[in-house]
Structure 1
Amino acid sequence: MTANWASFSAAEPVLAKTVEDRFGAFTHHVLGTLRKDGSVRLTGLEVRFLHGELWLGMMPGSLKARDLQRDPRFSIMANPGEGTGMAGGDARITGRAIEVTDPVERAQYVGEVEPPDPDAFHLFRVELTEVVRTSVENDEMVVEVWKPGAGVRRTSRR
């Protein structure tokens, strides 16, 4: 089961806002994709939250784009920032990246994001399978996990 960003935000507005703010705190994040041989490839990536969707834009022919064309499964970890304070906690989004080829959708994205070459880039829309936020509250580590159709599961430990 998957969901888009709008349905996640409607179901869990507080967690969605927290995760979106966490990703918004920095420009570059870490994307994990699967190589041909099944091993993990980690690369840098910018993300965009627009019109109820989470978007991934990539340079033409990039290895991460090729990975997603072959196997759409991915995970993105928000940039943890400097130091060890975990300000805002860690956020991770897992799902499937669906390549967008429709000229109207691409033109709308280009109009708002203004990529370096509006005619040459890969654009993917995200279908969420899991959103995770890990934070420290007082002296406890708190993990919030959301999956479509299951709501948020919150655990903590000292």
Structure 2
Amino acid sequence: MSWADFQAAEPRFAQAVQQRFQQYKHHVLATIRKDGSPRVTGLEVSFLHGELWLGMMPNSRKALDLRRDPRFAVQANPGEGDDLRDGDVRISGRAVEVTDADVIARYSEGTKPPEPFHLFRVELTEVVGTSVEGDSLVIRAWRPGSPVRTIRRGNGDETPRED
């Protein structure tokens, strides 16, 4: 499912997630190494033309990981301090490498990437936002085909409650 599909299905949540990612330039990408262990690296993300894009230097380890196994998760930069006042967001999915010259040229018009580079379009499988609201930890999770699921924990009650 594309970013535009997510925006159409859950516009408020999609807007909050995109704004959270756009607060900072660099984020954390998790990929799967050849031996199956995780790899965590820095990354910039782009929201353009109804898609979420991941751009990488040629033959970087993370690009090679995604070529071999397209599953990934990207965590928004938490920012400074320890308050996480704007919450925490993560996007998981599959990265589809784009090699079509016209698509790459269209992407490049708004971003000025270094040349050459790998470009991946994201197919979403899950979007999660975590925040503190009052005395409660609030987790919002979305998967394609389902509405946002909201779980609240707090006020001394260790039993999660779904909204």
| TM-score (normalizing by structure 2) | 0.94
Name the counterpart of 2:18: 20
Question: Residue 55 of structure 2 aligns with which residue?
Answer: 57
Q: How many residue pairs were aligned?
A: 154
| Alignment partners' CA distance in 2, 1:43 and 1:84 | 21
Q: Aligned partners of 1:11 and 1:88: how far apart in 2?
A: 22
> Which whole-Å CA distance do the structure 2 matches of 1:96 and 1:151 have between them?
20
SS of 2:12's equivalent in the other structure is helix
Structure 2: runs of 5 or more not aligned: 155-163
Asked if 1:140 corresponds to 2:161, the answer is no
Q: Which amino acid aligns with 1:122?
A: H
% same residue: 61
Equivalents in 2 of 1:27, 1:18: separation in Å?
16
List runs of 5+ in structure 1 lacking aligned partners. none
- Cα distance between partner residues in 2 of 1:7 and 1:111: 23
In the TM superposition, structure 1's runs of 4+ consecutive aligned residues that sit over 4 Å from their partners are none
Match of 1:92 in 2: 90
Counterpart in the other structure of 1:32: 30
What SS does structure 2 have at the residue aligned with 1:17? helix
**Structure 1 position 112, deviation (Å):** 1.0
Considering Cα pairs closer than 8 Å and 6+ residues apart, tell me whether 1 or 2 has the greater RCO. Answer: 1
Tell me the CA shift for residue 106 of structure 1. Answer: 0.3
- Report deviation, 1:111: 1.1
Q: Deviations 1:74-107 (Å, cap 9, x if unpaired)?
A: 0000000011111210000000000000000000
Counterparts of 1:123 and 1:100, CA distance in 2: 6
Secondary structure of the residue that 2:8 maps to in structure 1? helix
Aligned to 2:145: 149
Letter in 1 for 2:152: S
- Asked which structure has the greater CA Rg, the reply is 2
What is the Cα deviation at residue 116 of structure 1? 2.1
Partner residue in 1 for 2:126: 130
Q: Give the whole-Å Cα distance in 1 for the aligned partners of 2:8 and 2:60.
A: 33
